[in-house]
Amino acid sequence: MVAPTVSRKDDQQGLGPRCYVSFSIVDLPLDFKAISEALNQKSATTRKAGSRISQVLKPLQEDVWSINSPLDPLKPLEEHLRWLREQLESRVDYLADLSRTGLLRVYIGFTLSQEQSSFRISPEFVRFFASVNALIDMYILCNFGEDSEEASGSAD
């Protein structure tokens, strides 16, 4: 049996950063149906003290309405943020009103597989999310795997 070959380009692409972007509205109580209709979006929703994400975590203290970028995680961050802005930009006034009582949150997550990686957020996206008073949370996970020098113990 012959193992499939992986080109250097495919191998490098597999090591690229993986991006995850979502938007959530957090408040108590939330009218999920009204928000979904106003934003013309189906969402993942969780009620206060609803099911726990894991047994270790405390039950939620607030309701959460959220949407996630459907784009492939290997797509550049800018494409995920553009998708999110396109979903929300026609409802800026509505979102700004919601932000008076609730928390609007943009989640940006990265999983990095190389020791040197970078990202940037263009001012147009920062301005847009600021216009609706959205908090931007960033999470960066480093997963260098067993092939990295640190993991293998061969670093000098």
Q: What pTM did the predictor assign? A: 0.76
pLDDT for 139: 92
Q: Tens place of pLDDT for every residue, the chain, 156 residues?
A: 433 333 334 444 566 789 999 999 999 889 999 999 999 998 888 777 555 444 455 566 788 999 999 999 999 999 999 999 999 999 999 999 999 999 999 999 988 887 777 788 999 999 999 999 999 999 988 887 655 444 434 444
pLDDT for 36: 93
pLDDT for 156: 45
Radius of gyration of the chain (CA): 19
Q: Label residues 71-93 b or e (16+ Cβ within 10 Å = b).
A: beeebebeebbbbbeeebeebee
pLDDT for 114: 77
**Contact between 17 and 112 (Cβ < 8 Å):** yes
pLDDT for 40: 93
Neighbours of 124 (CB within 10 A): 12
Longest dimension (CA), the chain: 62
Q: How far apart are CA 151 and CA 118, in angstroms?
A: 21
